[in-house]
């Protein structure tokens, strides 16, 4: 990882819902400026909660960071207002294909620039369509009638309209055909390189995420249990056994099943 101060830092973050249910437990990670960082793990590991802690969306589900620190671009954004976070240049693409269903594709894209003051609409639309040319023929289409792949392109395009320094992507490949998912990941990497935009990517598809990331973290039961650069994770024996080359059902097995006790104890320590 870079020796420069990270663009985003979570340090020993705890998240509690409804005052009693703890989901994150001492979670720490960093995202350097301009890097793609993958956050991996099975359902229920705490990945989405980590993203929502960063983007300030925990309060919508009665959640709160109760310990630790979240820093972005030198500012403390722990439990900050989500609108203020977006205005600072940090945008999340939520899971679940959350387009503005009754608006057109063009209107959805314009909504992404809501906080922009220096907005040149024709130039920004051309920029987004350069990454997602398939959207050009759909500009007048009602967003709720798009396919899953088209919706995901629209959501990433809408986030691009805000010109963020950091984009958070939550399960972008979920429900997509393998070819469409592959094309989407390739475009995400192209955006990262062309824009110098940092990306924090939550994915259950570890193999696809590791194809484009610089560094990765693995979460289980609200804790980071493993991290390293792309090469180190691809070479890691337990990573290969439990997250690469397996079906999703197999990948849900716990790290506690790993027989290499000493190595696991070092991760959790």
Nearest partner of 195 among 164, 173, 221, judged by Cα:
164
Average pLDDT, the chain: 88
Cβ(236)–Cβ(245) below 8 Å? no
C-alpha to C-alpha distance for 259 and 244, rounded to whole angstroms: 17
Quick check: 251 pLDDT over 70? no
The model's confidence at residue 263, banded by pLDDT at 50, 70 and 90, is very low
DSSP string, 25-73: EEEEEEE-TT-EEEEE--TTSSHHHHHHHHHT-GGGGTEEEEEEEEEET
Provide the pLDDT for residue 265.
Answer: 42
What DSSP state is assigned to residue 125?
Answer: H
Starting at the edge strand found earlier in the chain, the sheet holding 215-220 runs 90-93, 166-170, 198-203, 36-40, 215-220, 223-229
Provide the pLDDT for residue 222.
Answer: 94
Provide the pLDDT for residue 245.
Answer: 57
The model's pLDDT over 179-200, given as tens digits with 9 standing for 90+, comes to: 999 999 999 999 999 999 999 9
Provide the pLDDT for residue 257.
Answer: 53
Cβ(152)–Cβ(160) below 8 Å? no
Mean pLDDT of 119-140: 94
The model's pLDDT over 161-177, given as tens digits with 9 standing for 90+, comes to: 999 999 999 999 988 99
Quick check: 54 pLDDT over 90? yes
Quick check: 247 pLDDT over 60? no
Provide the pLDDT for residue 3.
Answer: 65
Provide the pLDDT for residue 180.
Answer: 93
Strands (E), the chain: 8-17, 21-31, 36-40, 63-72, 75-76, 90-93, 166-170, 198-203, 215-220, 223-229
The model's confidence at residue 97, banded by pLDDT at 50, 70 and 90, is confident
Delimit the domains of the chain by residue range. 1-80+200-269
Provide the pLDDT for residue 259.
Answer: 42
C-alpha to C-alpha distance for 139 and 194, rounded to whole angstroms: 24
CATH code for the structural domain at 1-80+200-269? 3.40.50.300
Quick check: 69 pLDDT over 80? yes
- Interaxial angle between packed helices 178-195 and 148-160, expressed in degrees from 0 to 180 and rounded to the nearest 10: 10
> Which position has the higher pLDDT, 247 or 140?
140
> Which position has the higher pLDDT, 42 or 202?
202
Enter the pTM of the model: 0.87
Percentage, residues of the chain above pLDDT 70: 90
Quick check: 264 pLDDT over 50? no
Quick check: 1 pLDDT over 60? no
Provide the pLDDT for residue 249.
Answer: 44
The model's confidence at residue 42, banded by pLDDT at 50, 70 and 90, is confident
C-alpha to C-alpha distance for 223 and 153, rounded to whole angstroms: 31
């Amino acid at each position: 990882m870079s020796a420069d101060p990270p663009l985003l830092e979570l340090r020993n973050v705890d998240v509690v819902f409804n005052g009693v249910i703890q989901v994150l437990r001492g979670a720490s990670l960093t995202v350097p400026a301009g890097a793609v960082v993958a956050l991996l793990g099975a359902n229920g590991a705490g990945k989405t909660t980590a993203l929502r802690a960063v983007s300030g969306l925990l309060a919508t589900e009665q959640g709160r960071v109760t310990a630790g620190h979240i820093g972005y671009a030198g500012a403390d954004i722990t439990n900050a207002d989500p609108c203020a976070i977006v205005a600072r240049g940090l945008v999340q693409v939520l899971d679940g294909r959350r387009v503005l269903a009754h608006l057109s594709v063009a209107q959805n894209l314009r909504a992404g620039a809501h906080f922009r003051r220096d907005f040149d609409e024709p130039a920004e639309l051309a920029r987004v369509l350069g990454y997602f040319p398939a959207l050009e023929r759909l500009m007048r289409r009602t967003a709720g009638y798009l396919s899953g792949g088209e919706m995901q392109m629209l959501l990433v395009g809408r986030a691009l309209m805000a010109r963020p320094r950091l984009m958070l992507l939550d399960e972008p490949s979920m429900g997509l055909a393998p070819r469409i998912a592959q094309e989407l990941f390739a475009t995400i990497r192209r955006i990262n390189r062309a824009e110098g935009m940092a990306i924090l990517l939550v994915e259950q598809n570890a193999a696809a995420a590791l194809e484009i990331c610089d560094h990765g973290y693995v979460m289980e039961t609200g804790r980071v249990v493993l991290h390293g650069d792309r090469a180190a994770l691809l070479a890691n024996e337990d990573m290969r056994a439990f997250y690469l080359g397996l079906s999703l059902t197999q990948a849900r097995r716990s790290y506690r099943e790993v027989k290499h006790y000493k190595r696991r104890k070092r991760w959790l320590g």
